Amino acid sequence: MNNVNGDLNQNPPIIIGVMGMTGSGKSTFIKSITNDPNIIIGGSLQSCTREIVPSCIQIDGLTVQLVDTPGFDDTDRDDVDILEDIAAWLGPQAEYQVKLAGLIYLHRITEPRMGGNAKRNLSMMQSLVGDDNMQNVVLVTSRWEELPNKAEGERRQKELKDPNGFWGEMIKHKARIARHNGTPESALGIVRGIMTVAPVFLQMQQELRQGMSVKDTSAGKDLLAHLQRQISQLNAKLQYMENQIRQSSEENEQLRQRYEEFSQQVKAKEQTQAKMMQGGMDRIMSRVADFEKRCARKSRCILM
Ligand SMILES: Nc1nc2c(ncn2[C@@H]2O[C@H](COP(=O)(O)OP(=O)(O)OP(=O)(O)O)[C@@H](O)[C@H]2O)c(=O)[nH]1
Ligand SMILES: [Mg+2]
């Protein structure tokens, strides 16, 4: 296996992952700093970044690798694919003793509420990182300029930060908070803030180093539990519909169609669950190879 980070003995890069929901502005954030033409910004409702893309830049004489990631709410890839991609990115780094300087988690302050996908993204990030490494995470709110009323944003941020709020537990474990105003200067300031923190092996890196398969890592277990919850909820809906169909005297085509849709969804989730359980080391190795190819194509660093 090639070393994905060049000559680590001389100049190990400062690696910073950028995570968040689809459309939260991860690619825009990275591109505003690196101007990397390989980073594609989305313009539609579809998820845009499908692969983990590293973007290298020199900041204050240090090599920094900003890593773009797909969100766990991708519109056309299942969560297992995404987690395996992340494992293929983090696993080899750990093998080469490469620690991560941190993770930037982007959140649009314009979001009126935390939906199921937002909660899942956050929870996956937490289990990837681990409570002990939360000091290497920066929770970044963005799009403040789009709020008709700034007080509304302040209220949402207060709610997120509350000890019982969605960010409360992470903040308790020393995650930091920052605001991004969309400018390259603001993005660079957030990155510089992470560059000073001692790098760590994220929880998932530690678990993979111990030889765990993806399904046994904390993030893997989190994902499996989530899939199981979704399957149980869908099965409960199916049960309810079956009763309705049985009790109704007339043929209800609409209800039958919905029943069929839910049945298909259960099958798809069960397939995803089975894929995860199979482990698929071959799949991970081919993802590692793909990631290395992408890194090799991008060996040149942009100087700042
Ligand atoms: N106003 C404003 N728009 C932004 C900002 N960041 C991103 N956008 C816009 O939001 C849309 C999505 O941005 P992306 O950077 O592609 O989002 P992403 O998180 O990479 O999305 P995925 O790749 O699908 O996961 C694009 O139209 C961007 O121009 C920001 O800070 N302010
Ligand atoms: Mg993107």
- The amino acid sitting at 71 is G
Query: Which pLDDT score, from 0 to 100, does residue 10 have?
Result: 56
- Summarize pLDDT for 107-136 with one digit per residue, the tens: 999 998 888 889 989 999 999 999 999 999
Residue 206 has pLDDT above 50, yes or no: yes
**Share above pLDDT 90 across residues of the chain, in percent, rounded to a whole number:** 53
Three-state DSSP at 257 gives helix
Q: Which stretch of 7-11, 73-77, 109-113, 183-187 has the lowest confidence by average pLDDT?
A: 7-11
* 30-34, 68-72, 250-254: least confident range: 250-254
Residue 6, C-beta contacts closer than 8 angstroms, at least 6 positions apart: 13, 299
Residues with Cβ within 8 Å of residue 263, at least 6 apart in sequence: 238
Q: Kind and range of the H or E element at 20?
A: strand 14-20
pLDDT of residue 45: 67
What does 204-234 look like in DSSP terms, one character per residue? HHHHHHTT--GGGSHHHHHHHHHHHHHHHHH
Question: Ligand 1, closest atom to CA 46?
Answer: 24
* Average pLDDT rounded to a whole number, residues 282-295: 73
Locate the ligand 1 atom nearest the alpha carbon of residue 28 and give its number. Answer: 15
Question: Which ligand 1 atom sits closest to the C-alpha of 70?
Answer: 25
Which residues lie below 8 Å from residue 25, measured CB to CB, with a gap of 6+? 106, 108, 142, 143, 180, 182
Residue 69, ligand 1, Cβ within 6 A: no
CB of 202 closer than 8 Å to CB of 167 = no
Question: Please, which pLDDT band fits residue 296 given cuts at 50, 70 and 90?
Answer: low
- pLDDT, position 8: 43
d(CA 123, CA 167): 10
Please give the mean pLDDT across all residues of the chain. 86
Judge whether residue 37 has pLDDT over 90: no
Distance between CA atoms of residues 227 and 233, nearest Å: 10
Q: What is the pLDDT of residues 266-283, one digit of tens each?
A: 999 999 888 888 876 677
User: Which range, of 146-160, 188-202, 219-233, 281-295, averages the lowest pLDDT?
Assistant: 281-295
Q: Mutation test of ligand 1: which of 21, 28, 35 has the most ligand atoms closer than 8 Å to its C-beta?
A: 28
Higher pLDDT, 103 or 40: 103
Name the pTM for this structure. Answer: 0.87
Mean pLDDT, residues 96-109 taken together: 91
The per-residue pLDDT for 47 is 66
Section 219-239 average pLDDT: 93
Residue 104 CA, ligand 2 centroid: distance in Å: 14
Residue 234 CB coordination number (10 Å): 20
pLDDT tens for 153-193 read: 999 999 999 999 999 999 999 999 999 999 999 999 999 99
Task: Please tell me the distance between residue 274's alpha carbon and the centre of ligand 1 in angstroms.
Answer: 33
Identity of the residue numbered 33: I
- For residue 43, report the distance from its CA to the centre of ligand 1, in Å: 8
Average pLDDT over residues 229-257: 87
230 lines ligand 1 (CB under 6 A): no
Query: 107: CA distance to ligand 1 center in Å?
Result: 11
Examine the pLDDT at 50 and tell me if it is beyond 80: no
Confidence at residue 36, expressed as pLDDT on a 0 to 100 scale:
85
- 31 CB near ligand 1 (under 6 Å): no
d(CA 86, CA 202): 12
Q: What are 282-286's contacts with CB under 8 Å, separation 24+? A: 283/84, 284/84, 284/87, 284/88, 284/91, 284/214, 285/88
Mean pLDDT of 238-253: 84
For ligand 1, atom 7: residue with the closest CA: 25
165 CB near ligand 1 (under 6 Å): no
pLDDT for res 113: 85
User: Which residue, by CA, sits nearest to atom 2 of ligand 1?
Assistant: 143
pLDDT value at position 180?
A: 97
Q: Which atom of ligand 1 is nearest to the CA of 68?
A: 20
